[in-house]
Amino acid sequence: MPATFDIKSANLSLVALQLKSDRLKDVVAELAGEFGPKGSAPDFFDQDAVVVDFGLQPHVHSRTELQALSRALTSCRLRPVAYRQAMPQQAAVAHELGWVLADEEPQKPRAAAPAPQTVEVVREVEVVREVVQEVVREVPGPATLVLDKPLRSGQRVYARGADLLVLAMVNPGAEVAADGHIHVYAPLRGKAMAGASGNAAARIFALSMEPELVAIAGVYRTSEHALAPDVQGKPAQVRLSQDGQDKLIFEPLKA
């Protein structure tokens, strides 16, 4: 046994960029528009590691093309580290860039898709195959993000590893997401996603519950079917049932 270190198995959560088009130029442009420094959500990522999923596309991108993609990801505050589902020639090019081969996504015991409505391309995956079966999640700390200004259609906020407290209305078309709880001391009319990275104990509170969509740890409900009359437009909370059924429970807040 070496005295100065141990080698242990570890696993890492990352986001995946699933390519839906083989035109990398378009991907680069759309990435910049969405998450780039001048995009609509420049702070969405925080130097997160990302795996590029080629989805077994037959098209082989050149080294320059992949480099351009890599630069685009970096400017979106993402760190490309791995690739998967690549054809063999593509794999060779990706290797040259120093990306490692990631395994296929293992079947997870529990749905923990973070914020499915936020971005289509984001998906969580473990790269290194597990030896230990337990999945260690970052526990959201006591941090809280407080917003005083109204969130209007098209705006979105994500409280990473924190609770989110909004003191003004969240309008239709706006999105709030948090790894912890979400409190809205005003009408909640947009989308709210609590426990975005899988915390099933997260809750959503609003002074007037009229959301387009609520989700907790990936379990969601849209406004297609009206909420119960004692909840709709009233002070209420949403939580996930803890009986393993993963049902969203809407309850009025009783003062």
Q: Toward other proteins, which CB reaches closer, 116 or 173?
A: 173
77 burial level (CB within 10 Å; 0-12, 13-18, 19+) = middle
Cβ 31 vs Cβ 40: under 8 Å = no
Instruction: Count the Cβ atoms, other than its own, within 10 Å of residue 154.
Output: 11
Stretch that binds other proteins, among 4-12, 86-94, 169-177, 216-224 (CB under 8 A): 169-177
Q: Toward other proteins, which CB reaches closer, 22 or 34?
A: 34
Stretch that binds other proteins, among 60-68, 94-102, 168-176, 236-244 (CB under 8 A): 168-176
User: What part of residues 131-160 is at the interface with other proteins (CB under 8 A)?
Assistant: 149-155
C-alpha dihedral (31, 33, 38, 42), degrees to nearest 10: -50
**Site track for other proteins across 177-216, x = CB under 8 A:** ------------x---------------------------
Q: Is 173 a residue that touches other proteins (CB under 8 A)?
A: yes
* Least spacing, CB of residue 121 vs other proteins, in Å: 22
Report how far residue 210's alpha carbon sits from residue 227's, in angstroms, rounded to the nearest whole number. Answer: 8
Cβ 161 vs Cβ 179: under 8 Å = yes
Q: Toward other proteins, which CB reaches closer, 172 or 252?
A: 172
* Least spacing, CB of residue 173 vs other proteins, in Å: 6
Q: Is 169 a residue that touches other proteins (CB under 8 A)?
A: yes
Stretch that binds other proteins, among 10-18, 61-69, 165-173, 217-225 (CB under 8 A): 165-173
Binding other proteins (rule: CB under 8 A), the pick from 13, 118, 171, 199 is 171
* Least spacing, CB of residue 232 vs other proteins, in Å: 15
Question: How many residues sit in the footprint of other proteins (CB under 8 A)?
Answer: 13
Q: Is 127 a residue that touches other proteins (CB under 8 A)?
A: no
User: What part of residues 12-31 is at the interface with other proteins (CB under 8 A)?
Assistant: none
3-class DSSP string for 178-240: ECCCEEEEEEECCEEEECCCCCCCCCEEEEEECCCEEEECCEEEECCCCCCCCCECCCEEEEE
User: What part of residues 31-60 is at the interface with other proteins (CB under 8 A)?
Assistant: none
How many angstroms from the chain centroid is the CA of residue 56? 23
Q: Is 234 a residue that touches other proteins (CB under 8 A)?
A: no
Report how far residue 158's alpha carbon sits from residue 175's, in angstroms, rounded to the nearest whole number. Answer: 8
Q: Toward other proteins, which CB reaches closer, 30 or 246?
A: 30
Residue owning tokens 């790894």: 179
Q: Which amino acid is at 249?
A: I
Q: Which residues contact 133 (CB under 8 A, 6 or more apart)?
A: none
Cβ 175 vs Cβ 162: under 8 Å = no
Q: Which residues bind other proteins (CB under 8 A)?
A: 149-155, 169, 171-174, 189
